[in-house]
Amino acid sequence: VVLATTTDIPNDSVSFIQEFPAEMRQQVVDALLAFSETEAGAAALENLYSISGLQEAEDSFYDAFRADLSRAGIDIEELAE
């Protein structure tokens, strides 16, 4: 029985709080992306998470998910507390 359908729901992500220094944030992102492109990194991602790679995403990537939560009556801010 299907109760409802939604847009794609994001799964694994690397997220930062707003106060995290932008320069350090970019260093972490760059390092993770570079590692994911190596043979060892690709193997680790596949073995640990069953994913084939990483990609950088803008905050707007989550807009459809936020809309689904809102339609379900879920306040994203309350979830973050």
How many structural domains compose the chain?
1
Residue 30 confidence (pLDDT)? 97
Whether 54 is in a domain gets the answer yes
Cβ 7 vs Cβ 64: under 8 Å: yes
Q: What is the pLDDT along the chain (81 residues), one digit of tens a residue?
A: 888 888 888 888 899 999 999 999 999 999 999 999 999 999 999 999 999 999 999 989 989 988 999 998 999 888 877
First to last CA, the chain: 33
The rounded distance, in Å, linking the Cα atoms of 37 and 30 is 11
Is residue 17 assigned to a domain?
no
pLDDT at 33: 97
The confidence score (pLDDT) of residue 48 equals 95
Which domain, by its residues, includes 32?
Answer: 22-80
Q: Tell whether 59 is covered by a domain.
A: yes
